[in-house]
Chain A
C-alpha cells in the first residue's frame, strides 16, 4: 500500500512539475498530436512523423524562422493520440492550455481533424489539414475559418482519373468501358459519390461495379469479375492494403486493361519496390512532379535525416503544410495567430508540391493522379498545376 501511495504521489507531483514549465522567449513552440500507437500508427509513422521531424530539422538548421528580424528556433512538442478521438481532444487541450504552444501541426486523418477542429478554433490557431478531406467542405470552413484543406475536396481526387481517361480516350488510346470498385467505408463512398457521376457524365460505360469490405484479404473474385467484364480501364478507390492486393491479383490472373488505377497507397515508394518492373504504367491516386528540384531535395533530405523514404503524395503535402505555416509566420513577422491565419487565406506559397494558394480556405492546386514510369511516380493529372508527364497505356505485366 505504502509503495503504491508514494508511486501515485510522485506521479501527481511530476504532473504538476511538467505543467509548470514556462515559455521560453526565443523559441516557437509547435505542437503535434497524431498516432504513435493504434490502427493508424503504421501509416502515420510513414507519411506524417518523419516529415514533421524533417521540417523542424531544416528550419533549425537554417537558424530558425525570421520573425520580425529575430531568428527563432522551433521546439516540437509531440503526443500520441492512440488513433482515438478522445485522446486527440485531450492532447490538443494539453498543447493549447498547458504547453501553450504557438502553433500546431494539424492532426492525422479526416476524422481526427474534424474532432479537434472546434478546440483548435477556440484556441485561435490555424489548422492546415494535410491528411484529410471531404466532398462537402463549405459548412466546415464557414464554421471554422481557421481550417485549411491542403488535400482539396474528395471530389478533386475522385474525378482526377476521369479527366485522365477522357484525355486518353480523345487520343484514341483507351475505350469507354470502365470497371469501378471501391472499399466499403467512408473513404470509398466519398470517392464514389464524386467519381461515379463524373464517369457517367463523361460518357463512360460502367461495365462492372462492386464494393468490398474494409480489411478483406481475398480480392481474387473482384479482379476475375472485372477481367470478365471486358473493361478497358480498371479503377479502384482503395486503401493501401487493398491497393497492394488488387495489383497483385491482377498480375497473378493476367488481367491487363489499358489503364489500371488504384487509390491510396499506390504512390508509396514501397509500392514501386514491391512490384519492381511490373509497376510500369500503373496509375494511382496522388502524385507530384518528381523532376522538380524542390521535391528531389526534399526526398534526399528526408532519407538522410530520418532514414524513411518519402512517398510521391502525402509526405510532400505534409511538408507543404508546414512550409506554408512557416512562410506565413515569417511574412507577418510576428506570432500573432489571427494575422497569420489571414496571411494563409490570402497569400500564395512556393512549396515542395508547387505554388499553392487557398480560395475560401480550400486549396486550388491538387495532384490527383500519378503513373509509375521507370521506377518513379509522375503526377499525370493535377488541378491548377502543370502535370509532370503525359499518361500512357499500361504495358502488360512483365512477370
Chain B
C-alpha cells in the first residue's frame, strides 16, 4: 500500500466520521439534502464500478433501483429492514446476471438502448403481475425509520461500495477490466474472458444500486410502478457521474456534491425555470470541465508534482 493510499484512507475515515455526526446536528432540511446527496453518491459510484472501466453507458439504474424498492415493499412485513435491504441487493444482482448474460455481448449503442428499455420492461412486468395476480397496484411501506436512519444505511452502503471498488481495482478482475476498457480485441487475444468479466461487474454494480433502492423505500411510503421505476433517475446518475469523471473511483463523489447543491439552489430560487437553469448549468460544466471534476483535480496534482520535481532538479 502506497503512502498516498494510506493518506487517502485516513482522509476517508475523517470524512465518514464527520458525515456520521450530521444527523446529530440537523434534523430538518439539511439532513434531507444530505440523504439525497448520499443516495446519488451511492448510485453514481456503483454505476461507475461497471461503466467506468467498460465504457458502456448503462441506463438501467432505474430498473435496479425499482427492484430494490419493491424488495423492501414486499419484504418489510416479514423481514427486519437490514435483511430486506440484502434481499433487494440479491434480487438486483440476479436480475443483472440474467440480463447481463443476454446482453453484455452487445456492444456500444445497442447496449445503451437495451438498458434504456430495461426500466420500462421491469415496470411493465411488475404492473402486469400486480394487475393479474394481486389485483392491486400500490404497496404501503410504513416504517418508523427517520431520515437519520436512512442516512446511516446509505453511508454504510457507500463505504461498502468504495471498499468493493478498491478491492476490484487491485484484483485480477480489475486488471482485466482495464485491458478490456482500452481494447477489447487485445483483451480477447490475451485470453481474458471478456463477457464473463463484464457480467460479474454488472452484477456487482446492479446489486449495489438495488440496495440503494431498498434503503430508500421507506421514504416512498406508497410504492407504485410509476414512481419506483423512474427513468429520469438513470439519466441523472449518468450526468452526475460524468461531471465527476469516471476514471477514478472517487470521481462521482466530486460530481454529485456540487451538482446536487447547484440543482437544489436552482429549484429553490427559480422554481418556474428549473429545466432552463439546469440546462445552462450543463453548458457551463461542459465548456469549463471537459474531463470532469476528478480529471481537473488529477491535472492540478500532476502539475504540482511536476513543478516540485523541476524544483528538485535545479
Q: When the two chains form the complex, which single residue of A8, A87, A184, A189 contacts B262, counting CB atoms closer than 8 Å?
A: A8
Q: Write the chain A residue with the least CB distance to B218.
A: A118
Residues B272 and A97 in contact, CB atoms below 8 Å apart? no
Given contacts A11-B265, A111-B224, contact A89 B219 (CB under 8 A): yes
Q: Shortest beta-carbon distance, A304 to chain B, in Å?
A: 22
Interface size on A, residues (CB 8 A): 47
Chain B positions within 8 Å of A, measured between CB atoms, are 27-29, 31-33, 36, 39, 124, 127-128, 130-131, 135-138, 140, 142, 216, 219-222, 224-227, 230, 232, 258, 261-262, 264-265, 267-269, 271-272, 274-275, 284-285, 288-289, 296, 300
Q: Write the chain A residue with the least CB distance to B28.
A: A97
Residues A84 and B227 in contact, CB atoms below 8 Å apart? yes
A78 at interface, CB cutoff 8 A: yes
Residues B288 and A189 in contact, CB atoms below 8 Å apart? no
Number of A-B contacts (CB under 8 A): 124
Q: Shortest beta-carbon distance, B146 to chain A, in Å?
A: 9
Q: Write the chain A residue with the least CB distance to B130.
A: A189
Residues B271 and A93 in contact, CB atoms below 8 Å apart? no
Residues A3 and B227 in contact, CB atoms below 8 Å apart? no
A residues 175-190 in Cβ contact with B at 8 Å: 184-186, 189-190
Q: When the two chains form the complex, which single residue of A82, A115, A117, A189 contacts B274, counting CB atoms closer than 8 Å?
A: A82
Query: When each residue 243-263 of chain A gets 1 if its CB lies under 8 Å from chain B and 0 otherwise, what string results?
Result: 000000000000000000000
Neighbouring A residues of B226 by C-beta, 8 Å = 39, 111, 185-186
A residues 1-46 in Cβ contact with B at 8 Å: 1, 3-4, 7-8, 11-12, 14-15, 18, 36-39
A207 at interface, CB cutoff 8 A: no
Q: When the two chains form the complex, which single residue of B32, B224, B268, B284 contacts A18, counting CB atoms closer than 8 Å?
A: B268
Q: Write the chain B residue with the least CB distance to A116.
A: B221
Q: When the two chains form the complex, which single residue of B32, B222, B265, B271 contacts A114, counting CB atoms closer than 8 Å?
A: B222
In the assembly, what is the distance between CA of A15 and CA of B30, in Å? 11
In the assembly, what is the distance between CA of A341 and CA of B267, in Å? 30
Q: Shortest beta-carbon distance, B83 to chain A, in Å?
A: 22
A-B contact pairs, 7 of them (CB 8 A): A1-B288, A8-B258, A39-B226, A79-B267, A82-B267, A85-B221, A186-B137
Residues B29 and A185 in contact, CB atoms below 8 Å apart? no
Residues A37 and B275 in contact, CB atoms below 8 Å apart? yes
In the assembly, what is the distance between CA of A110 and CA of B268, in Å? 24
In the assembly, what is the distance between CA of A80 and CA of B274, in Å? 8
Residues A186 and B284 in contact, CB atoms below 8 Å apart? no
Neighbouring A residues of B274 by C-beta, 8 Å = 36-37, 80, 82
Q: Write the chain A residue with the least CB distance to B275.
A: A37
Residues B269 and A89 in contact, CB atoms below 8 Å apart? no
Q: When the two chains form the complex, which single residue of B27, B261, B284 contacts A15, counting CB atoms closer than 8 Å?
A: B261
Neighbouring B residues of A193 by C-beta, 8 Å = 135-136
A169 at interface, CB cutoff 8 A: no
A residues 69-99 in Cβ contact with B at 8 Å: 78-80, 82, 84-87, 89-90, 93-94, 96-98
Given contacts A11-B262, A86-B36, A118-B221, contact A98 B288 (CB under 8 A): no
A351 at interface, CB cutoff 8 A: no
Q: Shortest beta-carbon distance, B141 to chain A, in Å?
A: 10
Given contacts A15-B261, A36-B274, A211-B131, contact A85 B220 (CB under 8 A): yes
